[in-house]
Structure 1
Amino acid sequence: MADKDERGRAGEDRAAAHLHARGWRILDRNWRCPIGEIDIVAEQGRDLIVVEVKTRRSEAYGHPFAAVDERKRRRLWKLARAWCLAHPDLAHARVLRLDLIGIIGDDPAVAALEHLEDLR
């Protein structure tokens, strides 16, 4: 993998494929607004899920989930609400939740993938 951005995109592609294989519908990817970016927005039944993807070559600097501290969680919830306001037709009467996907390995396409559902 050439650079961090390319690795991140490959990790997000892998995460989206993982969710799709589980029967989830991907509604949006890399959605941006003035306060930041959401990696993936998906739906599973009536749930609307904002998915943060963290891709790492190794755990030398900690597990990918450790990068999502309380401050980052608050920001992701704000982004989730902003997405809902921008997409009222898709967000109406939904249960909103936040998931994390961590990918660890040299090649994101085949690296270990962990999915943490319903982060609170």
Structure 2
Amino acid sequence: MADHLDLGRKGETIAKSFLENAGYEILDENWTHGKAEVDLIAYKDRVIIFAEVKTRTNAGFGLPEDFVDTRKQKLLAEAADEYIYLMNHQGEVRFDIISVLFNKNLEYTLKHIEDAFWPSA
């Protein structure tokens, strides 16, 4: 597997543990619909959270969360619509970004950005 994929999976594992420790229930991981993949789908306080996990080894080209562009947001919204339909969820939804930034010593900083965006139609 390519190094960037290993890094991404490591970030997703860290993010999943973080959410679980914060009281979230993980409903799905790497859920796909069409061209979209939702890294983590969680549930807490009757809200379904669609979380995009971005992992980087440095911030030279921007912080990890800077890479969730409008195209990615639109794909996530389309996948979320399908998931909500399939689960018949009648409550609130939220889109979060979890940023994992590693330094050269493989120590990381995690930033959980709740309600990071609301995709436009």
What secondary structure sits across from 1:53 in the alignment?
A: strand
Residue 12 of structure 1: aligned partner = 12
Q: 1:85 to 1:110 in 2, by over 3 A?
A: farther
* 1:1-120 matched pairs, under 5 angstroms: 3-88=3-88, 92-106=89-103, 110-120=107-117
What secondary structure sits across from 2:116 in the alignment?
A: coil
Contact 2:34 2:79 in 1 (8 A): no
What secondary structure sits across from 2:76 in the alignment?
A: helix
Distance 1:60 1:110 in 2: 17
Q: 1:110 to 1:94 in 2, by over 3 A?
A: farther
Distance 1:35 1:58 in 2: 27
Query: After alignment, is 70-79 or 110-119 more displaced?
Result: 70-79
Q: CA RMSD in A?
A: 1.6
The share of aligned pairs that are identical, in percent, is 35
* One-letter code aligned to 1:34: G
* One-letter code aligned to 1:10: K
What TM-score do you get using the length of structure 1 for normalisation?
0.88
**1:72 deviation in Å?**
1.7
Q: 1:39 to 1:71 in 2, by over 3 A?
A: same
What TM-score do you get using the length of structure 2 for normalisation?
0.87
**1:16 deviation in Å?**
0.4
What secondary structure sits across from 1:86 in the alignment?
A: helix
* Unaligned runs of at least 5 residues, structure 2: none
Distance 1:110 1:42 in 2: 25
What secondary structure sits across from 2:112 in the alignment?
A: strand
* One-letter code aligned to 2:82: A
Distance 1:83 1:106 in 2: 35
